[in-house]
Amino acid sequence: MVELTFKDFLDLTYNPRRVNEARKLFRDWYGSDWAERLFAKAEMLAGDTNVRNINYGAPAQDWMNYETNVFSLVSKVPWGPKSGIRFVDLSSTEATGLQETGNLMAASNATYGIIEYDIKYHNLKFAASEKSLWRGTVDDNVDRWAVEREKWGKVLARSIDEYLVRPANTITGATFVIESIDRMVSSSAEATFLSAAAGEALSGATAADIYPYAQRLRRSGFAGTGYGNGPYDAVVDENAGTLRALTLKQIDDVLVQVELNGATRDGLILLTGPDTANVISEKIEAKERIVNKTTMRVTLNGVVRASDVGVAGGFEVMSYKGVPIFTSRGIWANKPSGGISPIYGLYLPDIYIAVAMPTLYLETGREDWLVLDRMRRIGAYFFGAELVFRRWRTHFKIRDLSA
C-alpha cells in the first residue's frame, strides 16, 4: 500500500500530467470501478418519484460463514522427507530380577510398524465470460472477478475445515479428501456398531479403520471391549449409538485414560460444537461461581497456550480442569438427531497436517482465449495435504450424547 500526504493526494487527483499514475494507483487500491462506487450520486428520473438510490460502501456483502477453527488448531508442516512414520509398538515385556547364580532372562526384540499416508489434492474452480468482466468496469456494476476470487479462496479453506470434522462413516469424496478427525479418533469399540452411509464403499465397521482406502490399519475385527482393545485404537466413550446424558465424570474418565497412555494436560484441547460447550459450561457453573478460562494463541504450529511473560497477548477460551475448549460449526452440523455434538480430546503434539502443496491460485488471461476456444477467464485454487496422527491412544472421543 502506497502512503500519500494530503498534498500529494490532491496533486495526484487533479494534476493532468499524472492521470495514468492516478488511475493505476486508485485501481490498485479500490478496483477498476473505484470512482463510480465512491462518488456516484442518486439520480432523479422524473418528478419526485422513481428515484434511483445508490448504496454506498461495499459493492457486495457475502453472507456465508467462513469459520475455519479446526484447521487453525493443528500445526502445519512441510511434507517429507518421508511419506510415513516408523514406530515401535507397545510391549508387555518387563525387566526381571536376577538371582546370583541364575540365568539371564530370554531375549526380547521390539516390534516395529509403519504408518503410511498419501497426499490428498483439493481444487476449486470458477469462471466468467469476457463480457461479464467488462461489465464490472462500467456503470454501477460489481467487480465480479474480484468478489469471486476472494469468495472462493475462503470457500476452499472452509471446505478443508468441513472435511476435517466429517463423521467417519460418511462419503464425501473420502477417497480423495483430507482425512477426518472423527475417523482418526475412532476405535474397535466404535467399529462394532457403525453403520455404512448410503453410497459408502466401506462397511460400517471398516469405516473406523485408519486410511481405509490406502494402507488401512485395522480397527475392525476386534472385540472392542472397554474403550476399545485394538492396537490402533483411540479412547472412545460410546453407547452403541443410543443417546445418553453428558456427565462431567465421562470427561474425567477419558482424561485419566489418555494421560495413562502418555498424553499430558498442557498438550490437550477439547473440540466440540457450541451446543455441547454450553452444556459443559452449565454443568461447571453448577459447581463453581466462575468458569475457568485459559489464554491461547494461534500460530503456524497450531494453537498454543499464551505465556504471561512479556507483553500480554492471545485470546481467552473456556477450559475444563486446565484443558481449553474450542468449538466448531462443522462438528455441530454433524451432531446426531436429537442429541448434541460429540467431544474430541486432541493431544496436539501427536497431530499435524503434512502440506505437500500450499494453497496455489492460478488464472487464465486473454492470451489463453485460443486454447480455451472462447472469450473467458478461469480461476482455480489448489491445495494438497493429509492429516497425520503419530499415535492414537493419546486422543479421545465421547459420542452418543444428549443434554
Q: How many other C-beta atoms can be found within 10 angstroms of the C-beta atom of residue 358? A: 11
Residues 300 and 395 reside in one and the same domain: yes
Residues 142 and 31 reside in one and the same domain: no
pLDDT reading at 295 higher than 80: no
What is residue 140's predicted lDDT score, i.e. its pLDDT? 59
Residue 311 binned pLDDT confidence (cut-offs 50, 70, 90): very low
Residues 30 and 128 reside in one and the same domain: no
Report the distance separating Cα 222 and Cα 301, nearest Å. Answer: 35
Torsion of CA 31, 35, 39, 45, to 10 degrees: -110
Residues 7 and 142 reside in one and the same domain: no
Residues 224 and 326 reside in one and the same domain: yes
| Residue where the block lists cell 532372562 | 105
Percent of the chain at pLDDT exceeding 90: 40
Residues 31 and 176 reside in one and the same domain: no
Report the distance separating Cα 349 and Cα 221, nearest Å. Answer: 29
Residues 185 and 323 reside in one and the same domain: yes
Mean pLDDT across the chain: 81
Instruction: Examine residue 65 and state whether it is found in any structural domain, yes or no.
Output: no
Report the distance separating Cα 399 and Cα 380, nearest Å. Answer: 37
Nearest CA-CA partner of 79 in 392, 387, 389, 385: 385
Report the distance separating Cα 385 and Cα 394, nearest Å. Answer: 23
What is residue 310's predicted lDDT score, i.e. its pLDDT? 44
Q: How many other C-beta atoms can be found within 10 angstroms of the C-beta atom of residue 135? A: 15
**Helices 19-30 and 6-14, packing angle to 10 deg:** 120
Residues 28 and 168 reside in one and the same domain: no
| Domain range for 287 | 120-357+367-372+382-402
- The phi, psi pair for 378, rounded to 5°, reads -125, 135
Residues 339 and 232 reside in one and the same domain: yes
The total domain count for the chain is: 2
What is residue 57's predicted lDDT score, i.e. its pLDDT? 46
Instruction: Examine residue 59 and state whether it is found in any structural domain, yes or no.
Output: no
- The phi, psi pair for 323, rounded to 5°, reads -100, 115
Residues 394 and 275 reside in one and the same domain: yes
User: Which residues, listed in sequence order, are joined to residue 271 by a DSSP beta bridge?
Assistant: 326, 344
Across 118-139, average pLDDT:
87
Report the distance separating Cα 268 and Cα 294, nearest Å. Answer: 12
Across 145-151, average pLDDT:
88
